[in-house]
């Protein structure tokens, strides 16, 4: 969440930048400013009352030593009143701080100045493109038909076992999944990312730390008995490894990668681009996460975008990179680049990665800090990216590489799959 310092010292600027995300922040920002003034006033009175209480306690001790019992008793009676005042002020302070925090978590992150204006996906800006879109025959099949033809994915079996959006991968389809996971993890390791294997369920504090809660509560699967949430991405557990941690500046940037299954309810998306692998409730993904200094985080973002581009190039897929507009960005992001690959049989672009800088927004929730040369602790910047999400990568690979002989496997994957043709 945004820091109070940023809001109080840059009120008009905050309101202006929030408007790019189509968030009307004027009223709520004014409430926060008023509550902060109230909080500081209560805190000042509380500090003064506590100091008076401490001084009076010392006086009482001296009066007893001097044998002035009556004066000591009068002073002691006054401490009872001060204790009640302190108790009341502390309660008032807790209430104001809770109200203040409840408002702060409803404010999205400020978009970077380079974020374009716009409300919807069509307003996103195409940064660059690469690869070659294949020229398929008129009878080319979409991936869901190819999956059935070659017995790679059983969508109906997934419905029987669980429900729509939970496919069953079979034979070479399952091997292709495993090959892609290992391919992505090996590439991440070679790029300097430390592989970790996190839990697939997290507590509410972890969901809060990375901003899924309370903003995306309806999109997460919830285990009510244990008060756990199934992760929507490995970003959540991996970033929370650094919750309440103070790093040293020479330890940054921290670079982690993780494979996980991801679980998303996708509430409100029914009937929208859901055919085949286009939109699932459970899918596999390799995530890269970085913790960095504010001075270096945008250089890290550029490096992460270049790294994801190298993956789609190795997979021989046509791709494009979009700079997301204010209205299409996530609640927590300051700047996001989306990667899309072209699925030639569907004749459409499919999102396969989002690479984002959250600046200090997540770190403030996480209390993830670092100490500089002056030994002063300050908030880190956090970043993450899909590298990559599998379902739509698989969809594009199957569609784009279909031939009369079968489905060709890109050269970079052959050593992982153990076969070059399906």
- Is 354 a known ligand-binding residue? yes
- Is 90 a known ligand-binding residue? no
User: Angle of helix 171-190 relative to helix 297-314, nearest 10 degrees?
Assistant: 140
Distance from C-alpha of 52 to C-alpha of 59, rounded to nearest angstrom? 10
Residue 112, beta-bridge partner list: none
- Is 352 a known ligand-binding residue? yes
- Is 323 a known ligand-binding residue? no
What radius of gyration do the chain's Cα atoms show?
27
- Is 178 a known ligand-binding residue? no
Q: Is 225 exposed, middle or buried (0-12, 13-18, 19+ CB in 10 A)?
A: exposed
- Is 300 a known ligand-binding residue? no
Distance from C-alpha of 394 to C-alpha of 401, rounded to nearest angstrom? 11
Distance from C-alpha of 171 to C-alpha of 157, rounded to nearest angstrom? 14
CA atoms within 13 A on the CB side of 153: 21
Distance from C-alpha of 362 to C-alpha of 349, rounded to nearest angstrom? 30
- Residue from 98, 104, 51 nearest 79 by CA: 51
- Is 265 a known ligand-binding residue? yes
- Is 233 a known ligand-binding residue? yes
- Is 384 a known ligand-binding residue? yes
Beta carbons of 232 and 262 less than 8 angstroms apart: yes
- Is 96 a known ligand-binding residue? no
- Give Cα separations from 146 to 59, 140, 422 (angstroms): 87, 9, 10
**Which residue carries 């996190």 as its tokens?**
198
Give the contacts of 248 (CB within 8 A, at least 6 positions apart).
370, 371
Q: List, as residue ranges, the binding site for L-serine.
A: 233, 264, 287, 384
Q: List, as residue ranges, the binding site.
A: 233, 264-266, 287, 351-354, 384
Q: List, as residue ranges, the binding site for ATP.
A: 264-266, 351-354
């Amino acid at each position: 969440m945004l820091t109070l310092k940023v809001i109080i010292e840059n009120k008009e600027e905050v309101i202006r930048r929030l408007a790019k995300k189509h968030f009307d922040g004027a009223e709520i920002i004014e409430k926060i400013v008023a509550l902060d003034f109230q909080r500081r006033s209560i805190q000042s009175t509380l500090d003064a009352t506590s100091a008076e209480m401490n001084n009076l306690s010392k006086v009482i001790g001296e009066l007893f030593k001097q044998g002035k019992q009556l004066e000591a008793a009068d002073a002691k009676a006054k401490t009872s009143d001060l204790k009640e005042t302190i108790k009341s002020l502390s309660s008032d302070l807790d209430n104001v701080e809770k109200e203040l925090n409840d408002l702060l978590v409803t404010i999205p992150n400020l978009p970077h100045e380079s974020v374009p204006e716009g409300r919807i996906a069509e307003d996103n800006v195409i940064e660059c493109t690469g690869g070659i879109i294949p020229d398929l025959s008129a009878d080319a099949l979409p991936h869901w038909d190819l999956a059935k033809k070659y017995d790679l994915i059983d969508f109906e079996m997934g419905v029987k076992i669980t429900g729509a959006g939970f496919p069953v991968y079979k034979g070479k389809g399952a091997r292709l999944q495993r090959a892609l996971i290992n391919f992505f993890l090996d590439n991440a390791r070679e790029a300097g990312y430390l592989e970790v294997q996190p839990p697939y369920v997290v507590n509410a504090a972890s969901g809060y730390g990375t901003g899924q809660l309370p903003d995306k509560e309806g999109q997460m699967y919830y285990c009510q008995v244990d008060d756990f949430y199934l992760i929507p991405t490995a970003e959540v557990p991996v970033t929370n490894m650094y919750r309440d941690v103070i790093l040293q500046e020479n330890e940054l940037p921290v670079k982690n990668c993780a494979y996980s299954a991801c679980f998303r309810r996708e509430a409100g998306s029914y009937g929208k681009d859901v055919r085949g692998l286009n939109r699932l409730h459970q899918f596999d993904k390799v995530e890269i996460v970085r913790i960095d200094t504010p001075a270096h985080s945008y250089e890290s973002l550029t490096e992460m975008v270049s790294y994801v581009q190298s993956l789609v190039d190795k997979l021989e897929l046509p791709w494009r990179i979009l700079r997301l507009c204010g209205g299409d960005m996530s609640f927590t992001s300051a700047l996001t680049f989306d990667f899309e690959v072209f699925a030639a049989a569907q004749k459409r672009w499919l999102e396969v990665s989002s690479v984002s800088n959250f600046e200090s927004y997540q770190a403030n929730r996480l209390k993830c800090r670092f100490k500089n040369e002056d030994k002063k602790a300050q908030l880190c910047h956090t970043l993450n990216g899909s590298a990559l999400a599998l379902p739509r990568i698989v969809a594009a690979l199957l569609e784009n590489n279909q031939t009369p002989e079968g489905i060709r496997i890109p050269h970079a994957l052959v050593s992982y799959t153990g076969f070059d043709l399906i």
